Structure formats: structure tokens, C-alpha cells
Amino acid sequence: MFSISQIRAKARQTINSTPGIFLLPIIPVGLTLLMNAFQYFGNINAVYYDPTEAFRPFFSTFAFPILYNLLISFITISLAWTLLQVVRGMKKMVEMKDVLAIFNSPYLGKIFITFLLKQFYLFLWGLVFYIGLGLSVIAFILAFFYALGAGSFEGIPEESLAIIGAFFLFGLLALVGGLALLIPQHMAYSQVEYILYDQLEENTYVGANAVIKASRQMMKGYKGKRFVLDLSFIGWFILVGITIGIASIYVLPYYYAAQVHFYEAIKTDMHIRQASYFNQFNQTAQEPTQPSEPTTTETVSEHVVEDTVADTLVDTAVENTAEQQMDSAIDSPLDHKE
């Protein structure tokens, strides 16, 4: 079993030994800075030159951020796939244009459908969280306007305070419960892009839903580790915010290299586990059995051997997969429906 410190150490080794690695984030970081500048100066100009158009930037930039986020998502997928090729020795050096390689892929349609389906599932899993967020926002807005009209919070009628309190309480409960529901699903779907890459390369892709299901299956027993891995980067993400995204030039390759090594470590773990089960099966099957009594038929003896092998394998599987059984408590009903 691997550790998070080992994953991060391998990620640092990858970014330190790959020429051109810090050129990869320049395009997404540049786009992000341009996007922020466009929104900021657009809002200032609209308010300064024509106050009646102060709300226009909100509507004019509603669709644009969606397209921007879609573009950035595809670029980061391409960045992750480039690092996957580096880790596997398929690339010795990288260039800035490698993050745009996905747009020349003959599988762009399949990539888009898989990405869209993943986001749709995550949206459904996050509905409770979003409802809680909405209720909390409504509570704050009501409190603000009531206080504004009454002159202070003390002047708000008790009936109104009860309504605001109910909105806030239910919103808070939904926020906490929704977050507890959403985070494990984010972890469960975290390997979709890497599995998709392998299936497209190996020509085993059969559909977006199959890729998502494979990710959920792979992450059984590993969601906690993946959460800890993401949590270990929180300091770097804060630094990105403080530097208005400039620190992403270092953080993005580091973070996605860690993701790639995490994916490769899970695959290695799975292969070792499968080999261990196979060896145990062979050893158990080859063990000599006691000679049967003269009155015992050959058929009965064969059944005894088969039962012994089956019981041994079941006991071994139960011992070796305790973490997976505990983890299955937060798995989606999707696994049972598909």
C-alpha cells in the first residue's frame, strides 16, 4: 500500500526532471488572468460611464464564464494526459502546445460526452448542497432587508425572525449533509479522465457511463486517500489565490503529477492484489487432499476439494478487503443499477 508522502515525492521528482514542465500551465493561467481582468475592468467601465448599465456585465458575462470553464477543463485534462505520458516514459520533454493537443484528438466527441456526463452526475449528487446554499443565501438576504427597513436587527418582528431562523437552520443542515454526500462522489469520479485515456488508447472504450462506473469501482477503498491527497495541497491552493493565480505555474504541474502517480499507484495495487489472489488460489488447489474412504465416491471428493478452495478464497478476500467494505457504505446506488 502506498502513502501520500510517497505520491508527492514522486510528483516532485517528475516535475523537477522534465524539461519544459512549467510551460504547460502558461496558457490556462494566462486565460484565467485575462478572464479576471476582463470582468473587473468591464464592470468598472460600465458603472463609470453609464450607471444605468451597471447590471449589464452580470448578464453579458453569464454565458462567457461557462464557455471559459469548459475550455479550461479541457486544457487541464490535456495537461493531465501529458503528465501521464511523461510518467509512463512516453514523453521525455514537454512543450506549451501540449495542453492544446486534446482539441486535435479524433476522440474529442467521446471526451466531451464523458466529461459532460461526469459533471451531470456530480451536479445531481450536489443538489442537497446547492439547496442548502440557496436557503442560507435567502436567510441572509431576508435578514439584511428586514434590518435595513427596521433600522436594526432588534426591530425585526419575531415572526420574521422565526422564518429567517428556519431558513438558516435548514440551509445549514442541508449544506453540511450535502457536502458529506458530495465529497465522496468527487473522489469516486476522480479517475474518470485517466481511465478514459487508457480506454481510448487501448480501444476498449464502450461508453461514458462505463468509464464512470470503472472509476467508481477503482476508487473503492481509496477515496479516503484521495481526499487526504487533495487536502495536502490546500496550502498551495491558498498561495494560488494570494498570487492571483500566478503560483499556478508551479502548483498545476505538481498537483496533476501527484494525481497521475496516484492513479498509477492504484493500478499497481490492483495488479498486486489480483496476482496475490491468483497465487493463493493455485497454492490451495495444488495442496494434497486426504485419500477418500473406500465408500466415498470420486464425485464427492471433488466437491470437498472445491468447497475447501472456495472457503479459503472467501476468507482471504474478506480479510484483504475490509477497507473496501467500509468504503462501500458511501457508494452510489449507480453501482447497483448498472
Q: What pLDDT was estimated at residue 57?
A: 53
Q: Is the pLDDT of residue 155 over 70?
A: no
Taking only the tens place, the pLDDT of each residue in 4-34 is 999 999 999 999 999 999 999 999 999 988 8
Write down the mean pLDDT value for the chain.
Answer: 81
* pLDDT band at residue 300 under the 50/70/90 scheme: very low
Round to whole Å and give the CA distance between 202 and 181.
33
Task: Provide the 10 A C-beta neighbour count for residue 111.
Answer: 21
Q: Is the pLDDT of residue 322 over 80?
A: no
Residue bearing the bigger pLDDT, 242 or 326? 242
Q: What pLDDT was estimated at residue 169?
A: 92
Q: Is the pLDDT of residue 309 over 90?
A: no
Task: Provide the 10 A C-beta neighbour count for residue 125.
Answer: 20
Give percent above pLDDT 70 in the chain.
Answer: 72
Average pLDDT in the 145-166 region?
Answer: 72
Average pLDDT in the 76-97 region?
Answer: 95
Residue bearing the bigger pLDDT, 45 or 101? 101
Residue bearing the bigger pLDDT, 56 or 120? 120
Taking only the tens place, the pLDDT of each residue in 189-238 is 999 999 999 999 999 999 999 999 999 999 999 999 999 999 999 999 99
Helix (H, G, I), strand (E, B) or coil at 276: helix
Q: What pLDDT was estimated at residue 141?
A: 87
Helix (H, G, I), strand (E, B) or coil at 216: helix
Q: Is the pLDDT of residue 323 over 90?
A: no
Give percent above pLDDT 90 in the chain.
Answer: 57
Q: 315, 289, 252, 292: which is closest to 29 by C-alpha?
A: 252
Round to whole Å and give the CA distance between 328 and 69.
32
Residue bearing the bigger pLDDT, 26 or 335? 26
Question: What are the φ/ψ torsions at residue 287 (nearest 5 degrees)?
Answer: -65, 135
Taking only the tens place, the pLDDT of each residue in 233-277 is 999 999 999 998 899 999 999 999 999 999 999 999 888 877 777
pTM: 0.76
Q: Is the pLDDT of residue 295 over 60?
A: no
Average pLDDT in the 141-150 region?
Answer: 74
Question: Alpha helices of the chain — where are they, by DSSP H?
Answer: 4-17, 26-49, 56-60, 63-87, 108-125, 127-150, 158-188, 192-202, 208-218, 223-231, 234-242, 248-286, 298-320, 322-327, 334-337
Q: Is the pLDDT of residue 292 over 70?
A: no
Taking only the tens place, the pLDDT of each residue in 69-79 is 999 999 999 99
